[in-house]
Structures are given as C-alpha cells and as structure tokens.
Amino acid sequence: MNIKIIGVGKLKEKYFKAGIAEYAKRLGRFCKFEIVEVPDEKAPESLSQAEMDEVMAKEGQRILGKIKDREYVYALAIEGKERSSEAFAAEMQQLTTYGHSDITFVIGGSLGLSKDVMQRSNSQISFGKFTLPHQLMRLVLSEQIYRAFMINEGSPYHK
C-alpha cells in the first residue's frame, strides 16, 4: 500500500518536521508513506477573486501533476465530510479491500484547492470548521492515518 500526502509549500518548522518524521517511521510497518511538496504561489493579502482563482489554479496544476490515474484522492477541505477516527479507519480498510492500494491526500495552500483538484478528488475530508495552518495539518493528518492503521490492527493506541 502507498500513502502520499501532497502539500502546497515547504514545511519550515523543525517541530512539525520532527512530528511528521515520527509518524512516517511508525507508518513504515504498514505502508510506503511519502510527503510531496509543490511550490506555493505568492498570494498578497489584497487579491481579487480572479487573482485568487489564478493562484489556486497554478497550485492546482502542480498538485495534479503529482497524481497518477490509479490513485484514490482525498482532498482536505472545510466543506468536506467530517469522519470519526473509527469511520476513517473503516473507510481506509474498505479502500484497500476493493483494490485501492494508492491513496493520496491533498492539502491546499493558503487559499485552498482549485476546482480542478476538487473535481479530481474521489472524496473530500474535513477536520472541522477550523482553519489550520497547512504545516500543522500535515502533522494532524499523518497522525490520523497512523491511528487508522492502529484501529484496524486492534491496537490499544487509539484509546
């Protein structure tokens, strides 16, 4: 099984890098886990809607260039479906049971994800109405993926 997180922008903070590295190490026994970074576009505060759409479109093309046809894609989006950790674990298990061995999660930049990326996604997932920094979201997502494997294994980690 291959699990990939595509994120816009570079991970800068050492403590996020350390946390993600720890979960990547733990996930190594379950899957091939990788994080792919695509460059972000400069987005000053005062952009028109058309300029914001252009920024998202450029980032979106970079994201889509990292996704293969066979990959099952989750787009992280506030308007996506919220799941419990148990429901997410069951969904991951079901995907692998039905032949989806390449699962990709996409975290957009500061403006979100383009329509093209949302259309390419097979499912949208939300971690609630909070807006979180994308660097923190990578860490939270890495932990939840690990938690899903632990739930499916019947491990006490989840308690």
Give the pLDDT confidence of 15-56 residue by residue, as tens digits. Answer: 999 999 999 999 999 999 999 999 999 888 888 999 999 999
Average pLDDT over residues 3-17: 95
Total-model pTM: 0.95
Relative to beta strand 2-8, strand 32-38 is parallel
Expressed as residue numbers, the domain containing 73 is: 2-158
Relative to beta strand 102-107, strand 2-8 is parallel
- Residue with token string 């499912």: 123
* CATH code, 134: 3.40.1280.10
Total domains present in the chain:
1
Residue 9 assigned as binding residue: no
Residue 27 assigned as binding residue: no
23 and 53 in contact (C-beta within 8 Å)?
A: no
Specify the range with the lowest mean pLDDT, choosing from 34-48, 57-71, 81-95.
34-48
